[in-house]
Structure 1
Amino acid sequence: MKKSVLKIFSCGLLATLLFNSSVVFATEAKNENAIQMMMESEANNSPENVFNFSGEWVESSVETTTKRLYGGNNTGRYETAVAISKEKWANGSDTIVLVTGMDYPDALSATPLAAKHSAPILLTENKKLPQSVKAEIKRLSASNAIIVGGNGAVSKEVETELKAMGVATRRIDGKDRYNTAVNIAKEIGTENGIAVAYGLNYADALSIAPVAGKLSMPIILTPSNYMNEDVKKFIASTEINETVIVGGVGAISYEVASAFPNPMRIGGQNRFETNVNVLSIFGNWLNYDEVYVATGMNYPDALSGSAAAAMTGSPLILANAYEIDDNTTIYANFLRAKKVYGLGGQAILSNEVLSYIGEAAQYFDIQNIKSKPVTINKNQFAILPSAVFVLPDGKTINQALPKIVEIQWQTEDLVIDTSIAGEKIYTGVVKGHDINDDKYKVELKVIVK
């Protein structure tokens, strides 16, 4: 990852998402007053220029729809992965990535590998392929399977079953989860940097997985308080420009984080805040037409969904069965999605939570966007944002949450030239629309002084 890209991260949405409590839906009641109070408090303490854009919010003919992808009660994780594969790989896939459905260590680094091969992630039992997975491999017409993990995770018997189906197999494994992650990283490459997550839990790795897949960043796992020897050798022998550390100092200590090249930490007070902070800071690389929602309290559904999310660069939001962290609530309100996918059954992701996020992420047709001038210091690094906050005309952040709108700027170089003082007008268009349609044209005045 180029150094200039890392600087963009600090310009993300993180400053507007500094909340740490929960909305509980056990009785289907939403603590909206508390959220509103926090919104107003944050707005009163935010710089005036955080929200530079406003526009007309028009009810769209495009209705935000929610769809649950899930399996049965007894073998749900395997069939949920199959349902995701059927939905997002409807036309088949030459390659699948196969991981154990029984534990998470080897699987945590699989998403960027799946993204590299445009492949779904399917789950298997240790000793045999579930029938639903077999049927899906046939439907996909897959001819190659990449098995992640050793024989203790995915046995040779499973490998034999695949070969009997006419599927060529190869295995990426290691002596432990850290070595497996390193071996996957060697295949993906480190040109775009690496992501580092705590290896003894799954939540932080799941948060970064779709982003890492989209950006071709391998996920390296680490213990909390020391550097694994295989990881240490890999770091020493590999050119790595940037490192994204995912999780707080309780997950990855300061000493361990500092041992990686050019580390930048993205954390939070809990897994849900970390999830939102990851999505916010990498907002410039996300596509908001589709949103995925999965439980943050277990790994299989989010893991399978992360491969689909990586394909389209979509946010993967973590939630609890009957509870949404307030960071998540506010982030969901920023979105204007056309489709919201819920991953897994109601026992792990309730209808109330899925419906609330679907309603919060309601799609509006936003037109006639106006912007305030942006002032930048001479020689300061700056880049045109691919996604901006747009408030309803006449409203302040105290009165309404903005929506994220993706902008396509009419310039090949998104880096703003700040070497010379002066003013410049940049022209863009709301993603998906014609630059000649004035309703969707966006102009931004940049003042360098």
Structure 2
Amino acid sequence: MMAKKILLPLLIFIFTISLFSFPSDSTAVGDYYRIAGSNRITTAIEISRHVTQSPNVVILARSDDPADALAAASIAGYHNAPILLTKTNKLSDYVIAELNSLQVYDVFILGGSKAISNEVEAELKQLGYRVTRFAGSSRFETAAKINNHLASEKNLYEGEGPNTPKKDKAIIVNGYTVADALSASSNAAINAIPIYLSKKSHLPIELPSYVKEVTIYGGEGVISKEVYDSLVAKGLKVTRIGGKNRFDTNIKSLDPSNGENIILVRGTSVSLTKEDYPDAVASSALAKKLNANIVLVHPTKPIAEVVEHFSKNRYVNIYVLGGESAVSSDVAINSTAFVDTTLSFLIEDGINDSVIHPTEPIIYYTAKNVNLLWYMNFETGESDYIWFSRNPESLYFANGKLYVALHTGQRSNYWNVESQLGSVAIIDPVTFQVEKEMELNLDPYDIVIDKNGILYVSSGSGQWTDIRSYDTTTEEQLSRMRIYSKQYIQLDPSETHIYTVDWSTIEIYTIDSGKLIEVNEDNRNYEGHYIVPDGTLDFSPDGKYMFNNSGNIFHTDSLYHYKQLEYEYADIGFDETYNLFMIGRKGLILFYDYDTFEIVSAISTIGEVDSLHLNNNYIVSLTKFTDPQTEEITYGVEVFPK
């Protein structure tokens, strides 16, 4: 069962093909999303559909020249307004359909009539839209007109935006170098900071008198020292973000507080004769919605600065704008896909249940359709198994012992409780030998054991069936209560209550000297009937909160809903030493601060997280891989030292 290292490249290849292949339209694949249309106009529409369903404004820019759109990031962010693209003399039917879908009243046109014709403006007015055109005699003056709108106390939606325009701040970029403007657009959109366009050697327009702080994007090769010095001489606070190239400048501009989402855009022009970035210019409103940085990438090859950034930073969601010619799937994968864990084993059999030894590097697991309990030391590679005459399923580690639920291998809603069979084996985890096997006359589905050695077990057969408690020393049955079959059970940290749960219902039983007593029926259901995928339930170590893998968190004592995490998850783990809890979802393990419930870190796995285990020294994830040809699932044991 131990995986040889030669299998790892094949495994990564299978994983890459199955999870990171991008469809041509806007579809989520794993944690990667590609937003693309058939051309630049329809791609902008696809981005619009991800921005908001009810904007106040739509911004319309020329599709074949992004100059006027460069300064629009601030108003796009302020108004939550998507940026759509149009040909100079023709309004696309797709754009008209998107405007109708968005049900906006106001359209902002960027640039003069040579950029977007008067005929297009007239058509928009005929369709019933109120049109505002921002136009100057040059791109520099057009940018200033856009920024005057943002700063004006008389603009159409003053105070309705989610943030206040930063009138005392400004961003300056080279008006002919689009890449640095794209690097600035995330900051401009999220924080409503106006972007002013400059020439290399001088700033063609005067900044408003209320501007006190300026950030220059780009090195002295695009915005000269003379421009910098002239701003300082006027008493402004000036900061330059500049690198050795556009990609380096971009990476240095990223805001580390925007840590969950990232947007990849093409950072090189599609034209050899002019700066043309059709998919990227529409990205600012999406950056605002996702609170995401925008990263420039090369369309066909990974860039060293980008790879270096992603080797050190993990993101929950990665968005790729444009089709394969804009950013290829290979570039997206090879630039961002880094693994933090070590793959110790491959497990070909489907896993029923698994537990970790609290102090040793050992995983125990049961597999589907085989009568084996497996032992695996993920440090030494040693493995062993125990064969049972019955099918081992649920596992529990308590009091220095390993407990294994054994059932006959068949379940039925018609198998009444009086005729059920099953047992629980108690294993010495050091010698990996069976100490004894307890007959239960019950079909064991899930088990927990308290510190006094009392076993609690739910049945997996019958419709109405039993949950029972047993003394594992005397093997005496102590109590029984009627429940629905196939209920997962959990012991709260104080060991005063047993919780049974399925996909929508929870019941609570008080424990008195190992005996189960049902509590008030008012507590039988979640407040609001919150759905619980797979019927999972976990407690924080202090017993204050309950978590289910839909991301909902409840007060344990009342079952009242407390809050919801941003993400559903496959499994959850707690680390009291660092006051953290972690969730496993897809190819990531996300770490949360237990006090603030905010994400503080993340690590990536090779496969999709199925279950998480923690002991004194390790975080262990059981992950699964789907072979795209056979659709068969293989499990891996991935290890991350604390």
**TM-score past 0.5 threshold:** yes
1:15 is matched with: none
1:340 is matched with: 318
Does residue 1:101 correspond to 2:67, yes or no?
no
1:56-76 C-alpha deviation (Å, 9 max, x unpaired): xxxxxx99521211121xxx1
Does residue 1:150 correspond to 2:112, yes or no?
yes
| Residues 1:336 and 1:180: Cα distance change in structure 2 (over 3 Å) | same
Distance in structure 2 (CA, Å) of the matches to 1:312 and 1:194: 22
2:358 is matched with: none
1:316 is matched with: 294
| Residues 1:366 and 1:328: Cα distance change in structure 2 (over 3 Å) | farther
SS at match of 2:196: strand
Does residue 1:352 correspond to 2:366, yes or no?
no
| Residues 1:127 and 1:297: Cα distance change in structure 2 (over 3 Å) | same
| Residues 1:174 and 1:321: Cα distance change in structure 2 (over 3 Å) | same
Does residue 1:271 correspond to 2:439, yes or no?
no
Structure 2 alignment gaps of length 5 or more: 1-12, 14-27, 152-165, 270-276, 341-566, 579-588, 602-613, 615-642
Does residue 1:243 correspond to 2:214, yes or no?
yes
Distance in structure 1 (CA, Å) of the matches to 2:216 and 2:339: 28
Whichever residue aligns with residue 77 of structure 1, its letter is R
Contact 1:64 1:337 in 2 (8 A): no
1:336 shift after superposition: 2.9
Q: How does 1:141-290 map to 2 (within 5 A)?
A: 141-189=103-151, 190-228=166-204, 231-232=205-206, 235=207, 237-260=208-231, 261-279=236-254, 282-284=255-257, 286=258, 288-290=259-261
Structure 1 alignment gaps of length 5 or more: 1-28, 30-61, 372-402, 409-426, 434-438, 440-449
1:241 shift after superposition: 1.9
Distance in structure 1 (CA, Å) of the matches to 2:339 and 2:260: 10
SS at match of 2:337: helix
| Residues 1:94 and 1:252: Cα distance change in structure 2 (over 3 Å) | same
Distance in structure 2 (CA, Å) of the matches to 1:195 and 1:147: 22
1:307 shift after superposition: 1.6
Distance in structure 2 (CA, Å) of the matches to 1:259 and 1:300: 33
Whichever residue aligns with residue 335 of structure 1, its letter is N
Distance in structure 1 (CA, Å) of the matches to 2:592 and 2:331: 26
- When normalised by structure 2's length, the TM-score is 0.46
| Residues 1:192 and 1:266: Cα distance change in structure 2 (over 3 Å) | same
Distance in structure 2 (CA, Å) of the matches to 1:432 and 1:175: 48
SS at match of 2:302: strand
Does residue 1:81 correspond to 2:79, yes or no?
no
Distance in structure 2 (CA, Å) of the matches to 1:141 and 1:366: 45
| Residues 1:368 and 1:222: Cα distance change in structure 2 (over 3 Å) | farther
1:114 shift after superposition: 0.9
Distance in structure 1 (CA, Å) of the matches to 2:219 and 2:590: 27
Whichever residue aligns with residue 266 of structure 1, its letter is I
1:199 shift after superposition: 0.8
SS at match of 2:177: coil
Q: Aligned pair count?
A: 315
2:369 is matched with: none
Contact 2:303 2:335 in 1 (8 A): no
Does residue 1:71 correspond to 2:37, yes or no?
yes
Distance in structure 2 (CA, Å) of the matches to 1:109 and 1:343: 19
1:97 shift after superposition: 0.6
Does residue 1:330 correspond to 2:338, yes or no?
no
Contact 1:334 1:361 in 2 (8 A): no
| Residues 1:335 and 1:369: Cα distance change in structure 2 (over 3 Å) | farther
SS at match of 2:185: helix
Contact 2:215 2:241 in 1 (8 A): yes
1:236-277 C-alpha deviation (Å, 9 max, x unpaired): x42112110000000000111222221110011111111100
Whichever residue aligns with residue 170 of structure 1, its letter is T
1:156 shift after superposition: 0.9
Distance in structure 1 (CA, Å) of the matches to 2:76 and 2:142: 15
Distance in structure 2 (CA, Å) of the matches to 1:141 and 1:184: 23
Distance in structure 2 (CA, Å) of the matches to 1:268 and 1:262: 20
1:106 shift after superposition: 1.1
1:407-449 C-alpha deviation (Å, 9 max, x unpaired): 79xxxxxxxxxxxxxxxxxx7553499xxxxx9xxxxxxxxxx
Contact 1:289 1:314 in 2 (8 A): yes
Larger strand fraction of residues? 2
Q: Of the two structures, which has the highest relative contact order with CA contacts closer than 8 Å and spacing of 6 or more?
A: 1
Contact 2:263 2:295 in 1 (8 A): yes
Whichever residue aligns with residue 257 of structure 1, its letter is Y
| Residues 1:407 and 1:153: Cα distance change in structure 2 (over 3 Å) | farther
1:94 shift after superposition: 2.9
2:77 is matched with: 115
- When normalised by structure 1's length, the TM-score is 0.64
Whichever residue aligns with residue 340 of structure 1, its letter is I
1:430 is matched with: 598
Distance in structure 2 (CA, Å) of the matches to 1:291 and 1:104: 22
1:139 shift after superposition: 1.0
Distance in structure 2 (CA, Å) of the matches to 1:124 and 1:324: 31
Distance in structure 2 (CA, Å) of the matches to 1:111 and 1:83: 17
Distance in structure 1 (CA, Å) of the matches to 2:573 and 2:74: 33
| Residues 1:361 and 1:255: Cα distance change in structure 2 (over 3 Å) | farther
Whichever residue aligns with residue 185 of structure 1, its letter is N
1:311 shift after superposition: 2.5
Contact 1:211 1:313 in 2 (8 A): no
Runs of 4+ with >4 A deviation: 361-371, 403-408
1:112 shift after superposition: 0.7
Distance in structure 2 (CA, Å) of the matches to 1:167 and 1:361: 50
Contact 1:181 1:219 in 2 (8 A): yes
